[in-house]
Amino acid sequence: MSTTGTNTRYVALLRGVNVGGRTRVDMAGSRELALELGFEEVRSHLNSGNLVFSHDSGDESALGELLERGIERRFGAHVSCLVREAGYLREVVAGNPFPEAAGHGKLLHASFLSHRLPEERTTTIDAAGFQPERFRLGDRVIYMYLPDGIGRSGLADALNRPAVLGETVATTRNWNTVSKLLELVDS
């Protein structure tokens, strides 16, 4: 493996782990697993499936699949893992269409997507009917401003329906987490 100086920084977003007693994935064990898989400078954030690491692969999909197979072997559960380069995360933060909400990190969310979502998939959503909640589609991300939180959000539910997502895997983080992951990936 190449030296750390030539490696790319990544964030891995594990979908649906350690939420509501469902799929349990120990983050300390995940860090150990990532090191065993050849990832470097591995750190985790919170207990909700966020890893930051370096690797020389350059292939987000391959790294995600490697991590998925490793988690299944070690923890006995299939967990979708979206891996994104640090530059992509910087673009997501810079592209925030709701900058006025960025200081309220639990009200602003980013749903990271496995694939670019065709805009026409969201045209069936009556955005005006969900006001004051709002959303914008970005590059493999849906930005959501949810002033009453995600737990009671009709808009978040509508955006997660199969008619909108299809086969696209989505995993959501609040803006506090997105900001912290950017900080970690840049440190």
pLDDT tens for each residue of 86-143: 999 999 999 999 999 888 888 999 999 999 999 899 998 998 999 999 999 999 999 9
What is the residue whose two structure tokens read 């980013």? 110
pTM: 0.90
What is the spatial distance between Cα 181 and Cα 158, in angstroms, rounded to a whole number?
26
Q: Distance between CA atoms of 19 and 34, rounded to whole angstroms?
A: 21
Q: How many domains does the chain have?
A: 2
Q: Which two tokens stand for residue 119?
A: 């805009």
CATH of the domain at 139: 3.30.70
CATH number, position 45: 3.30.70.1280
Q: How far is the C-alpha of 180 from the C-alpha of 114, rounded, in Å? A: 21
Same domain, 58 and 102: no
Same domain as 79, residue 128:
no
> DSSP H helical segments within the chain, as ranges?
27-36, 60-75, 86-94, 154-159, 162-165, 175-186
Whether residue 84 sits in one domain with residue 99: no
Q: Residue 2 — pLDDT band, cuts 50, 70, 90?
A: very low
* 140 secondary structure, DSSP code: T
Q: For a pLDDT cut of 90, what percent of the chain falls above it? A: 65
104 and 79 housed in the same domain: no
pLDDT band, residue 19 (cuts 50/70/90): low
Q: Containing domain of residue 37, as a range?
A: 4-88
Asked whether residue 124 falls in the same domain as residue 83, the answer is no
At CB < 8 A and 24+ separation, what contacts does 123-128 make?
A: 124/163, 124/164, 125/155, 125/158, 125/159, 125/164, 127/155
pLDDT tens for residues 67-84? 999 999 988 888 899 999
Do residue 99 and residue 79 come from a single domain?
Answer: no
Residue 125, amino acid? I
pLDDT of amino acid 23: 66
Both 62 and 38 in a single domain?
yes
Instruction: Reply yes or no on whether the pLDDT at 3 is more than 50.
Output: no
